[in-house]
A and B are shown apart, each in its own frame.
Chain A
Amino acid sequence: MLVNAIRRPLTVKAGALRRQGFVPAVLYGAHVASLHVSIPEKELLDMLDHVTRSTPVEVKVDGKKTYHVFLKEIQVHPITEKFLHLDLYVADPERPLEMNVPVRFLGTPRGIKDGGVFEAVHSYIPVQAVPAKMPPRIEVDVSDLGIGDSILVKDLPWPEGVEPQLPPEDAVVTVAARRALEVEAPVAAEAVPAEGAEVEEEKPTGGEQPAA
Chain B
Amino acid sequence: MPALFPKRTKYRKQQRGRMKGIASRGAEVAFGEYGIQALAPAWITSQQIEAVRTALARGTHRGRVWVRIFPDKPYTKIAAESRMGKGKGAVENWVAVVRPGRVMFEFSGVTEAEAKEIHRRVSCKLPIPTQLKVRFQLGGER
Chain A interface (Cβ < 8 Å from any Cβ of B) = 48-53, 55, 71, 74, 76, 78-79, 81, 102, 104, 115, 117-119, 123, 136-137, 178, 181, 183-200, 203, 207-208, 210-212
Which residues of chain A are near B56, meaning CB under 8 Å? 183
Q: Taking chain A's interface residues, is the majority helix, strand, or loop, or is none over half, making it mixed?
A: loop
CA distance A181 to B32 in the complex (A): 13
Please classify the interface of chain B as helix (H, G, I), strand (E, B), loop, or mixed, using the class held by over half of its residues.
loop
Query: Which 8 pairs of residues, A with B, have the shortest CB-CB distance?
Result: A78-B27, A49-B139, A210-B8, A78-B101, A188-B70, A52-B140, A102-B141, A185-B67
Q: Given A186-B31, A187-B68, A76 and B63 touching (CB < 8 A)?
A: no
Nearest A residue (CB) for B71: A188
Contact between chains at B37 and A117 (CB < 8 Å): no
Query: How far apart are the CA atoms of A50 and B139 in the complex, in Å?
Result: 5
A188:B12 contact, CB within 8 angstroms:
no
Q: Which residue of A lies closest to B133 (CB)?
A: A81
Cα A60 to Cα B7 with chains together (Å)? 57
A76-B136 in contact given A183-B65, A184-B67, A193-B1 (Cβ < 8 Å): yes
List 9 additional contacts besides A78-B22, A117-B62; criterion CB under 8 Å.
A53-B138, A102-B137, A115-B62, A184-B64, A186-B67, A187-B70, A199-B91, A210-B8, A212-B8
The answer for the CA separation of A207 and B13 in the assembled complex, in Å, is: 9
**Minimum CB distance partner of B46 in chain A:** A191
Contacts A178-B62, A183-B57, A208-B10 hold; do A53 and B141 have CB atoms under 8 A apart? yes
Known contacts A78-B28, A199-B1; A55 and B67 CB within 8 A of each other? no
